[in-house]
Protein backbone atom coordinates (compact mmCIF):
# COMPACT_ATOMS: atom_id res chain seq x y z
CA UNK A 1 0.00 0.00 0.00
CA UNK A 2 1.24 3.47 -0.88
CA UNK A 3 0.43 6.30 1.54
CA UNK A 4 -0.24 9.51 -0.38
CA UNK A 5 0.30 12.99 1.01
CA UNK A 6 -0.68 16.27 -0.68
CA UNK A 7 1.17 19.35 0.58
CA UNK A 8 -1.11 22.25 -0.24
CA UNK A 9 -2.09 25.76 0.76
CA UNK A 10 -3.48 28.43 -1.53
CA UNK A 11 -1.22 30.91 0.22
CA UNK A 12 2.19 31.31 -1.45
CA UNK A 13 5.56 30.95 0.26
CA UNK A 14 4.44 28.95 3.31
CA UNK A 15 7.02 26.13 2.80
CA UNK A 16 4.96 23.66 0.73
CA UNK A 17 7.91 22.77 -1.50
CA UNK A 18 10.41 22.73 1.37
CA UNK A 19 8.10 20.43 3.35
CA UNK A 20 7.49 18.04 0.43
CA UNK A 21 11.21 17.66 -0.20
CA UNK A 22 12.42 17.53 3.41
CA UNK A 23 9.70 15.18 4.66
CA UNK A 24 10.11 12.90 1.63
CA UNK A 25 13.87 12.72 2.21
CA UNK A 26 13.30 11.99 5.92
CA UNK A 27 11.09 9.02 5.04
CA UNK A 28 13.90 7.52 2.94
CA UNK A 29 16.15 7.57 6.03
CA UNK A 30 13.68 5.13 7.58
CA UNK A 31 14.18 2.77 4.65
CA UNK A 32 11.08 3.77 2.69
CA UNK A 33 10.86 4.25 -1.06
CA UNK A 34 9.47 7.69 -1.86
CA UNK A 35 8.14 9.41 -4.98
CA UNK A 36 7.87 13.21 -5.03
CA UNK A 37 5.42 14.74 -7.50
CA UNK A 38 5.93 18.32 -8.66
CA UNK A 39 2.49 19.72 -9.56
CA UNK A 40 3.55 23.37 -9.65
CA UNK A 41 4.16 25.17 -12.98
CA UNK A 42 6.88 27.14 -11.11
CA UNK A 43 8.76 23.79 -10.90
CA UNK A 44 10.50 24.76 -7.66
CA UNK A 45 10.74 21.19 -6.42
CA UNK A 46 12.24 20.10 -9.74
CA UNK A 47 14.79 22.93 -9.57
CA UNK A 48 15.57 22.22 -5.90
CA UNK A 49 16.65 18.70 -6.88
CA UNK A 50 18.98 20.02 -9.58
CA UNK A 51 16.92 19.36 -12.72
CA UNK A 52 16.40 21.91 -15.51
CA UNK A 53 12.68 22.06 -16.39
CA UNK A 54 13.46 23.24 -19.95
CA UNK A 55 15.41 20.11 -20.96
CA UNK A 56 13.24 17.37 -19.48
CA UNK A 57 12.12 14.55 -21.78
CA UNK A 58 8.83 14.26 -19.98
CA UNK A 59 7.05 15.88 -17.07
CA UNK A 60 3.82 15.81 -15.06
CA UNK A 61 2.06 17.94 -17.69
CA UNK A 62 2.45 15.04 -20.18
CA UNK A 63 1.01 12.61 -17.64
CA UNK A 64 -2.01 14.76 -16.75
CA UNK A 65 -2.80 15.56 -20.39
CA UNK A 66 -2.54 11.91 -21.34
CA UNK A 67 0.69 11.84 -23.36
CA UNK A 68 2.85 9.70 -21.06
CA UNK A 69 2.67 7.14 -18.27
CA UNK A 70 3.87 8.32 -14.85
CA UNK A 71 6.59 5.66 -14.72
CA UNK A 72 8.07 7.02 -17.98
CA UNK A 73 8.90 10.43 -16.54
CA UNK A 74 10.23 9.47 -13.09
CA UNK A 75 13.81 10.60 -12.35
CA UNK A 76 16.26 9.33 -9.73
CA UNK A 77 17.69 11.96 -7.36
CA UNK A 78 20.99 12.18 -5.46
CA UNK A 79 19.24 10.62 -2.44
CA UNK A 80 18.78 6.87 -2.69
CA UNK A 81 15.12 5.77 -2.81
CA UNK A 82 13.97 9.35 -3.46
CA UNK A 83 12.51 9.73 -6.97
CA UNK A 84 10.92 12.73 -8.65
CA UNK A 85 8.14 13.20 -11.19
CA UNK A 86 9.20 16.66 -12.42
CA UNK A 87 7.27 19.69 -13.65
CA UNK A 88 7.87 22.22 -16.41
CA UNK A 89 6.02 24.97 -18.29
CA UNK A 90 3.52 22.52 -19.77
CA UNK A 91 1.94 22.32 -16.38
CA UNK A 92 0.33 25.66 -17.17
CA UNK A 93 -1.50 23.99 -20.05
CA UNK A 94 -2.60 21.18 -17.76
CA UNK A 95 -3.84 23.75 -15.27
CA UNK A 96 -5.86 25.49 -18.02
CA UNK A 97 -7.37 22.49 -19.77
CA UNK A 98 -7.71 19.86 -17.05
CA UNK A 99 -10.81 21.42 -15.53
CA UNK A 100 -12.72 21.04 -18.82
CA UNK A 101 -12.58 17.24 -18.70
CA UNK A 102 -15.17 15.01 -17.06
CA UNK A 103 -13.89 13.49 -13.82
CA UNK A 104 -10.62 15.41 -14.16
CA UNK A 105 -10.07 15.20 -10.40
CA UNK A 106 -9.35 11.46 -10.66
CA UNK A 107 -6.67 11.68 -13.37
CA UNK A 108 -3.77 11.75 -10.90
CA UNK A 109 -5.22 8.97 -8.74
CA UNK A 110 -5.53 6.80 -11.87
CA UNK A 111 -1.95 7.65 -12.90
CA UNK A 112 -0.71 6.20 -9.59
CA UNK A 113 -1.78 2.69 -10.72
CA UNK A 114 1.41 2.72 -12.73
CA UNK A 115 3.78 3.26 -9.77
CA UNK A 116 2.91 0.77 -7.07
CA UNK A 117 6.44 0.21 -5.72
CA UNK A 118 6.49 3.28 -3.45
CA UNK A 119 5.76 3.41 0.28
CA UNK A 120 5.04 7.16 0.13
CA UNK A 121 3.99 9.56 -2.60
CA UNK A 122 4.25 13.28 -1.72
CA UNK A 123 2.62 15.87 -3.97
CA UNK A 124 3.82 19.50 -4.02
CA UNK A 125 0.89 21.72 -5.04
CA UNK A 126 0.90 25.23 -6.55
CA UNK A 127 -0.32 28.14 -4.39
CA UNK A 128 -3.88 27.94 -5.75
CA UNK A 129 -7.04 25.89 -5.35
CA UNK A 130 -7.38 25.14 -9.08
CA UNK A 131 -7.61 21.78 -10.87
CA UNK A 132 -4.05 20.67 -9.98
CA UNK A 133 -4.64 21.01 -6.25
CA UNK A 134 -8.05 19.35 -6.59
CA UNK A 135 -6.43 16.37 -8.37
CA UNK A 136 -3.85 16.09 -5.57
CA UNK A 137 -6.45 16.22 -2.79
CA UNK A 138 -8.59 13.64 -4.59
CA UNK A 139 -5.61 11.29 -4.79
CA UNK A 140 -4.39 11.90 -1.21
CA UNK A 141 -4.86 10.02 2.05
CA UNK A 142 -3.56 13.03 3.97
CA UNK A 143 -3.47 16.76 3.23
CA UNK A 144 -0.62 18.57 5.01
CA UNK A 145 -1.36 22.27 5.28
CA UNK A 146 1.85 24.21 5.99
CA UNK A 147 1.12 27.54 7.67
CA UNK A 148 3.15 30.43 8.97
CA UNK A 149 2.28 32.01 12.30
CA UNK A 150 1.00 35.21 10.76
CA UNK A 151 -2.04 37.34 11.27
CA UNK A 152 -3.98 35.99 8.25
CA UNK A 153 -3.04 32.34 8.76
CA UNK A 154 -6.09 31.18 10.71
CA UNK A 155 -8.29 32.73 8.03
CA UNK A 156 -6.34 30.90 5.29
CA UNK A 157 -6.69 27.62 7.20
CA UNK A 158 -10.46 28.12 7.35
CA UNK A 159 -10.72 28.62 3.59
CA UNK A 160 -8.62 25.50 3.09
CA UNK A 161 -11.07 23.60 5.31
CA UNK A 162 -13.89 24.67 2.98
CA UNK A 163 -11.99 23.11 0.07
CA UNK A 164 -11.39 19.92 2.09
CA UNK A 165 -15.13 19.66 2.84
CA UNK A 166 -15.89 20.12 -0.85
CA UNK A 167 -13.37 17.42 -1.90
CA UNK A 168 -14.72 15.04 0.76
CA UNK A 169 -18.23 15.49 -0.59
CA UNK A 170 -17.34 15.22 -4.25
CA UNK A 171 -14.40 12.87 -4.73
CA UNK A 172 -12.53 11.71 -1.62
CA UNK A 173 -14.62 11.11 1.53
CA UNK A 174 -11.62 9.61 3.39
CA UNK A 175 -9.37 12.69 3.04
CA UNK A 176 -7.68 13.68 6.30
CA UNK A 177 -5.74 16.86 7.00
CA UNK A 178 -3.19 18.25 9.45
CA UNK A 179 -1.75 21.73 9.88
CA UNK A 180 2.04 22.18 10.05
CA UNK A 181 3.39 25.36 11.63
CA UNK A 182 6.42 26.50 9.62
CA UNK A 183 9.10 29.19 9.59
CA UNK A 184 8.60 29.90 13.27
CA UNK A 185 10.78 32.41 15.09
CA UNK A 186 10.34 31.31 18.69
CA UNK A 187 11.81 34.57 20.01
CA UNK A 188 9.06 36.53 18.25
CA UNK A 189 6.11 37.38 20.54
CA UNK A 190 3.64 37.60 17.66
CA UNK A 191 4.63 34.13 16.41
CA UNK A 192 4.24 32.74 19.92
CA UNK A 193 0.83 34.20 20.46
CA UNK A 194 -0.49 33.18 17.00
CA UNK A 195 0.99 29.72 17.52
CA UNK A 196 -1.14 29.34 20.67
CA UNK A 197 -4.24 30.74 18.96
CA UNK A 198 -3.92 28.37 15.99
CA UNK A 199 -3.38 25.39 18.32
CA UNK A 200 -6.41 26.35 20.40
CA UNK A 201 -8.60 26.76 17.31
CA UNK A 202 -7.54 23.62 15.46
CA UNK A 203 -6.48 21.33 18.37
CA UNK A 204 -5.16 17.94 17.40
CA UNK A 205 -5.34 18.80 13.70
CA UNK A 206 -2.03 20.66 14.27
CA UNK A 207 1.19 18.61 14.25
CA UNK A 208 3.06 18.71 17.54
CA UNK A 209 6.27 19.12 15.54
CA UNK A 210 7.00 22.71 14.51
CA UNK A 211 9.47 23.88 11.89
CA UNK A 212 11.57 26.87 12.95
CA UNK A 213 13.41 29.29 10.70
CA UNK A 214 16.69 27.75 9.54
CA UNK A 215 18.85 29.40 6.86
CA UNK A 216 20.18 25.97 5.82
CA UNK A 217 16.72 25.19 4.39
CA UNK A 218 17.16 28.16 2.05
CA UNK A 219 20.64 27.04 1.01
CA UNK A 220 20.05 23.37 0.25
CA UNK A 221 18.26 23.90 -3.14
CA UNK A 222 21.41 25.68 -4.41
CA UNK A 223 23.26 22.41 -3.87
CA UNK A 224 20.45 20.29 -5.36
CA UNK A 225 20.12 18.25 -2.18
CA UNK A 226 17.44 17.72 0.43
CA UNK A 227 18.26 19.21 3.84
CA UNK A 228 18.82 15.77 5.40
CA UNK A 229 21.69 15.25 2.94
CA UNK A 230 23.01 18.83 2.67
CA UNK A 231 23.11 19.57 6.41
CA UNK A 232 22.08 16.39 8.27
CA UNK A 233 22.60 17.91 11.74
CA UNK A 234 20.88 21.24 11.05
CA UNK A 235 17.75 22.29 12.93
CA UNK A 236 15.72 21.97 9.72
CA UNK A 237 16.87 18.38 9.14
CA UNK A 238 16.21 17.46 12.78
CA UNK A 239 12.71 18.97 12.80
CA UNK A 240 11.63 17.44 9.48
CA UNK A 241 12.93 14.06 10.72
CA UNK A 242 10.84 14.58 13.84
CA UNK A 243 7.81 15.31 11.63
CA UNK A 244 8.36 12.04 9.75
CA UNK A 245 8.50 10.19 13.09
CA UNK A 246 5.32 11.88 14.30
CA UNK A 247 3.56 10.74 11.13
CA UNK A 248 4.98 7.22 11.30
CA UNK A 249 4.02 6.83 14.95
CA UNK A 250 0.54 8.34 15.07
CA UNK A 251 -0.16 10.66 12.16
CA UNK A 252 -2.51 8.43 10.28
CA UNK A 253 -4.79 7.60 13.17
CA UNK A 254 -4.78 11.04 14.78
CA UNK A 255 -5.34 13.15 11.68
CA UNK A 256 -8.46 15.27 11.59
Ligand X SMILES: Nc1ncnc2c1ncn2[C@@H]1O[C@H](COP(=O)(O)OP(=O)(O)OP(=O)(O)O)[C@@H](O)[C@H]1O
Note the residues at the interface with ligand X (CB under 6 A).
Answer: 12-18, 40, 42, 44, 127, 182-183, 211, 213-214, 217-218, 236
Q: Compare residues 87 and 255 and give the one whose CB is closer to Mg ion.
A: 87
The correct pick among 4, 11, 16, 241 for binding Mg ion (CB under 5 A) is 16
Closest by CA to 75, choosing from 107, 30, 109, 45, is: 45
Name the binder of 218 from ligand X, Mg ion, none, CB < 5-8 A by kind.
Answer: ligand X
CA-to-CA distance for 64 and 66, rounded, in angstroms? 5
Name the binder of 12 from ligand X, Mg ion, none, CB < 5-8 A by kind.
Answer: ligand X
CB of 209 to ligand X, least distance (A): 12
Window 32-91: residues binding Mg ion (CB under 5 A)? 44
Burial of 125-164, coded b for 16+ CB within 10 Å and e otherwise, reads bbbbbebbbbbbbbbbbbbbbbbbbeeebbebbeebbebb
148 is a site residue for Mg ion (CB under 5 A): no
| Residue 87: alpha-carbon gap to chain centroid | 14
Name the binder of 200 from ligand X, Mg ion, none, CB < 5-8 A by kind.
Answer: none
- C-alpha distances in Å from residue 62, one per residue of 99, 101, 110: 15, 15, 14
244 is a site residue for Mg ion (CB under 5 A): no
CB of 126 to Mg ion, least distance (A): 7
Q: Compare residues 16 and 68 and give the one whose CB is closer to ligand X.
A: 16
Q: What share of the chain is helix, strand, coil (3-state, %, to 5)?
A: 50, 15, 35
Q: What is the DSSP letter of 248?
A: I
CB of 19 to ligand X, least distance (A): 7
Q: Compare residues 21 and 56 and give the one whose CB is closer to ligand X.
A: 21
Amino acid sequence: MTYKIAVANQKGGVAKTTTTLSLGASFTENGFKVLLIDLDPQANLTLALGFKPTVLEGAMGDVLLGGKMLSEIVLKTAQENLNLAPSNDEMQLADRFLGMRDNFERILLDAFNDVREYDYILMDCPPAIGPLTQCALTAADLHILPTQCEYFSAHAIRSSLALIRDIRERTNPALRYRVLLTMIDSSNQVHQSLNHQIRRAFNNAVFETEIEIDGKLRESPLFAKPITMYAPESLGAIQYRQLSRELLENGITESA
